[in-house]
């Protein structure tokens, strides 16, 4: 089985050609986009591409006519079998590369609650070797990154860090991802103020936000301030941050209670007298 999205861009040329014929940009969303937002997540075998709702049918027809992509049902993709019955997945058109085990998902704007013409940023390649934060303004600690733990997420200006495979070839078509505030607004629109624990359809957008919160350290007040001033759904994002803080405090309280309980029931060990030996 081939690796997910090999180093060559040849397999994407037919997609680039179809989008070019439709005067449509190549906009990635999902895990492949998150990796350009500094999130260290495995991208998998399926790449999500955002498509204007009005052009989905025409682009899908043209893609099938290339002879390189076969439209498939969600249930035929192993990783998506358990998700095939969910409502939000039925509006996504999925295609399998005819000569390998690679897939693309053409996601309409209403699926992601995000428009193709939303503010976006260009990235060097559809696939990266190391996850990297293209929008350096959202780095939690852009200066003083001398120690290893402070070096993540990587920035494009970092030296001696490979981001794109040398054998990947030149990309013949511009590749974009949504800017982080737009992507967060997309997730918040999908959540619609609902609790992810009460609605299965909220798991993926909530998970994407949690990834960003983890790798961009969005629990820090100065990081939250950067985004609260740029998103449209300020109230919902503030509630998301507050919920994370509440959960962390509750988790810490439980840990401390468990430690105190264990200490109370622990049997004292043997008392070893302390003696000072002469130098």
Backbone angles phi, psi at 239, to 5 degrees: -65, -35
88 found inside a domain: yes
Domain boundary among 140, 155, 178: 178
Residue with the two structure tokens 């961009």: 216
Q: Residue 270's pLDDT is what? A: 65
Q: Are residues 198 and 114 in the same domain?
A: no
Instruction: Indicate the pairing of strand 103-108 with strand 46-51.
Output: parallel
pLDDT tens for the 279 residues of the chain, in order: 344 455 456 778 899 999 999 999 999 999 999 999 999 998 888 899 999 999 999 999 999 999 999 999 877 666 553 343 344 444 689 998 888 778 899 999 998 999 999 999 999 999 888 899 999 999 998 776 555 545 679 999 888 888 887 655 678 899 999 999 999 999 999 888 776 666 666 788 889 999 999 999 999 999 999 999 999 999 999 999 998 888 777 777 777 778 777 777 766 666 666 555 554
269 found inside a domain: no
Q: Residue 57's pLDDT is what? A: 95
Q: Are residues 47 and 117 in the same domain?
A: yes
270 found inside a domain: no
Q: Residue 244's pLDDT is what? A: 85
Q: Are residues 172 and 212 in the same domain?
A: no
Q: Are residues 84 and 151 in the same domain?
A: yes
Peptide bond into 191 cis (omega under 30): no
Give the DSSP per-residue string, the chain: -PPSS-S-SGGGHHHHHHHHHTT--EEEETHHHHTTBT-----TTEEEEEE-GGGHHHHHHHHHHTSSEEEE-GGGSGGGGGGTTSGGGTT-EEEEETTSS-EEEEEEHHHHT--TTS-EEEES-SS-SS-EES-GGG-S--S---SHHHHPSEETT-TT---S-GGG---SS-EEEE-HHHHHHHHHHHHTT--TTT-GGGHHHHHHHHHHHHHTTTTSHHHHHHHHTT-S-HHHHHHHHHHHHHHHHHHHHHHHHHHHHHHHHPPP-PPPPP-PPP-
Domain boundary among 178, 194, 217: 178
Q: Are residues 79 and 158 in the same domain?
A: yes
Q: Residue 100's pLDDT is what? A: 77
Q: Residue 249's pLDDT is what? A: 76
Q: Residue 185's pLDDT is what? A: 95
Cβ-Cβ contacts under 8 Å for 111 (sequence gap 6 or more): 88, 91, 92
Q: Are residues 193 and 163 in the same domain?
A: no
Compute the distance between CA of residue 193 and CA of residue 239 in angstroms, rounded to an integer.
9
30 found inside a domain: yes
Q: Residue 1's pLDDT is what? A: 37
Q: Residue 11's pLDDT is what? A: 79
Q: Are residues 154 and 23 in the same domain?
A: yes
Question: Is 178:186 a contact under the CB 8 Å cutoff?
Answer: yes
279 found inside a domain: no
Count CB atoms within 10 A of the CB of residue 114.
23
Q: Are residues 229 and 101 in the same domain?
A: no
Q: How many domains does the chain have?
A: 2
79 found inside a domain: yes
Q: Are residues 173 and 218 in the same domain?
A: no
Q: Could you list the residue range(s) of the whole structural domain that residue 18 is in?
A: 11-178
Question: Is 158:150 a contact under the CB 8 Å cutoff?
Answer: no
Q: Residue 214's pLDDT is what? A: 93
Compute the distance between CA of residue 105 and CA of residue 94 in angstroms, rounded to an integer.
4
Backbone angles phi, psi at 16, to 5 degrees: -55, -40
Q: Residue 129's pLDDT is what? A: 84
User: Taking the complete model, does pTM exceed 0.75, yes or no?
Assistant: yes
241 found inside a domain: yes
Domain boundary among 178, 206, 229: 178
Q: Are residues 195 and 254 in the same domain?
A: yes
Helix axis angle for 221-228 and 180-191, nearest 10°, is 80
Q: Are residues 93 and 227 in the same domain?
A: no
- Specify whether the backbone of 30 is left (phi greater than 0), alpha (psi in -120 to 50) or beta: left
Q: Are residues 84 and 169 in the same domain?
A: yes
275 found inside a domain: no
């Amino acid at each position: 089985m081939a690796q997910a999205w090999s180093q060559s861009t040849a397999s994407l040329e037919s997609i680039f050609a179809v989008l070019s014929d439709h005067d449509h940009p190549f906009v990635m969303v999902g895990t492949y986009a998150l990796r350009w937002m500094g999130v260290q997540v495995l991208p998998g075998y399926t790449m999500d591409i955002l498509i204007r709702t009005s052009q989905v049918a025409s682009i899908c027809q043209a893609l099938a006519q290339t002879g390189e992509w076969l439209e498939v049902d969600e249930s035929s993709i192993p990783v998506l079998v358990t998700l095939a019955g969910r409502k939000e997945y039925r509006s996504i058109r999925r295609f399998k590369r005819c000569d390998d085990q690679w897939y693309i998902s053409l996601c309409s704007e209403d699926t992601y609650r995000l428009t193709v013409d939303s503010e976006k940023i260009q990235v060097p390649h559809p696939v990266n070797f190391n996850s990297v934060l293209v929008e350096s303004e959202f780095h939690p600690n852009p200066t003083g990154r001398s120690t290893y733990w402070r070096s993540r997420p990587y920035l494009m200006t970092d030296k001696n860090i490979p981001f794109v495979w040398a054998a990947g070839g030149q990309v013949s078509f511009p590749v974009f991802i949504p800017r982080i505030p737009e992507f967060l607004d997309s997730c918040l629109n999908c959540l619609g103020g609902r609790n992810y624990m009460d609605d299965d359809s909220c798991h993926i957008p909530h998970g994407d936000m949690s990834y960003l919160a983890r790798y961009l350290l969005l629990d820090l007040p100065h990081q939250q301030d950067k985004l609260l001033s740029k998103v449209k759904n300020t109230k919902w994002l503030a509630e998301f941050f507050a919920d994370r803080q509440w959960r962390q405090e509750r988790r810490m309280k439980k840990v401390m209670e468990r430690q105190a309980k264990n200490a109370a029931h622990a049997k004292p060990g043997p008392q070893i007298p302390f003696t000072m030996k002469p130098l």
